A and B are shown apart, each in its own frame.
Chain A
């Protein structure tokens, strides 16, 4: 289909799939008088027939696109982010084991996943020719690659599943929150105080049993607005972030529309909180 053609060029009126694909994937620089051109081209006998065909094609195309976008659902995300964490945790554990072993053969042996990758690529000393050690290193490198791929998947899918959460937190944090809550709907139904301490359950229950202070933040600690705030005001920042994330989760679950103002409101609030440390007014809250 060339850039000056309408969606109806080269499509078979009897094939709804082809028509829908033309609607979804086509493009044109400028609009033209498509109804008249379609009649002229013999696609439809008159304008009415053209509009009937157009309606059928756009409805079919939109339905297919909606289904496809919605299938990228929160369950997929939960599995992906958990698999990602499993892969990187296992890679790290194996990398430690590998470093201990390699250290007995080569005193210069390094540590961590980066070293395992080096070893797997054969960039290290000949003393480490031992095939089982190299093979173990290859497994570690593969697992680390898998974790990277899963992270890329999460970063790609989260904005489709939860556009506002992904915009407010980074996509991986958004996915972790959904995973901890057990789904987007479950997250949307949680009060912001619960979201604030998701991932800090041990500390929370220690507090409830009466022998620890209440946790200020859970997994949202990794949010820049929390981590980047002076410890004295971190509780306030965590509360502000959790509040906006709770709203974002509800908008994502119940409407799905992106609300850019949420991000700006959060940035504004966090700036106010961080400014307290600057002018040393930290004691007051709100």
Chain B
């Protein structure tokens, strides 16, 4: 069993133990004092932590988050991590992301395309400790490889692969095999686990750069 990062704890909400971080509520989640519940059904990283995958997160890391969407997950990340760069491509969810960033002084929202890292390489620093990736686009392995340039040699890639974004008609298992193979061009895969309990047809991957 792996340890939760500092700043993430299991807290009792209405009698059940749930993951929680300290910060301003973002999406109407239940709170207990300064702690707010982290819903693994709405967050792939939350699911990976809840399933006790060895993410290597300790707390306080510099993070590049690809596919921040409305800021649901990235707000929890910013609660326990250090400087957090949040990249999101769509304007509508980015508006909510801005709101989540308001109370978080080290969360940097960026309206950029994760498939084009050169459009934010002048902002995001090199050697970040962690890349979290949750982008619903075709070519998810390619996105991870393109963004490898930001990751420190001993850093971690925490990737949630959505099979249906690659090809809805194929078996998820076949899609995952392809993603794993392409990913191994630049990464060594440390652990994979299906997130089925929380997210249909998703695979959680922990990897480090080769």
Chain A residues engaging chain B, CB cutoff 8 angstroms? 1, 5-7, 22-23, 26-35, 51-52, 54-55, 58-59, 61-63, 65-66, 69-70, 160, 163, 255-261, 264-265, 268
Contact = CB atoms under 8 A, between A and B. Distances in A.
Nearest to B170: A264
Nearest to B62: A35
Contacts of B165: 259-261
B137 to A, nearest CB: 7
B174 interface: no
18 contacts: A6-B122, A30-B121, A31-B149, A31-B150, A34-B126, A35-B125, A55-B101, A55-B106, A58-B109, A59-B101, A59-B108, A62-B97, A163-B90, A256-B90, A257-B90, A258-B136, A260-B137, A264-B167
Given A26-B123, A65-B111, A66-B111, A256 B106 contact: no
A51 to B, nearest CB: 6
B138 interface: yes
B199 interface: no
A28 B125 CA distance: 11
- A-B pairs, top 10 by smallest CB distance, nearest first, are A256-B92, A69-B91, A28-B122, A28-B121, A31-B126, A26-B122, A58-B108, A65-B111, A264-B168, A62-B109
Contact of A62 (B110, B124, B150): B110
Contacts of A33: 125-127
Nearest to A69: B91
A7 B122 contact: yes
A30 B126 contact: yes
A268 B168 contact: yes
Nearest to A256: B92
B92 A51 contact: no
Contacts of B167: 264
B1 to A, nearest CB: 34
A31 B95 contact: no
Interface residues of B, number: 38
B110 A58 contact: yes
Contacts of B89: 258
Given A6-B123, A7-B123, A23-B123, A52 B110 contact: no
Nearest to B139: A260
B15 interface: no
A66 B95 contact: yes
A261 B127 contact: no
A27 B119 contact: yes
Nearest to B169: A268
Contacts of A30: 121, 126, 149
B83 interface: yes
Contacts of B107: 55
Interface in B153-172: 164-165, 167-169
B189 interface: no
A219 to B, nearest CB: 25
Contacts of A69: 91, 111
Contacts of B138: 260
B35 to A, nearest CB: 24
A51 B83 contact: yes
A28 B137 contact: no
B77 interface: no
Contacts of A34: 122-126
Contacts of A65: 91, 94, 111
B30 interface: no
B91 A256 contact: yes
Given A27-B119, A31-B125, A62 B94 contact: yes
A61 B97 CA distance: 13
Contacts of A261: 164-165, 168
A257 B137 CA distance: 10
Contact of B121 (A27, A61, A268): A27
A66 B94 contact: yes
A25 to B, nearest CB: 9
B25 to A, nearest CB: 20
A245 to B, nearest CB: 17
B98 interface: yes
B193 interface: no
Nearest to B138: A260
A124 B136 CA distance: 56
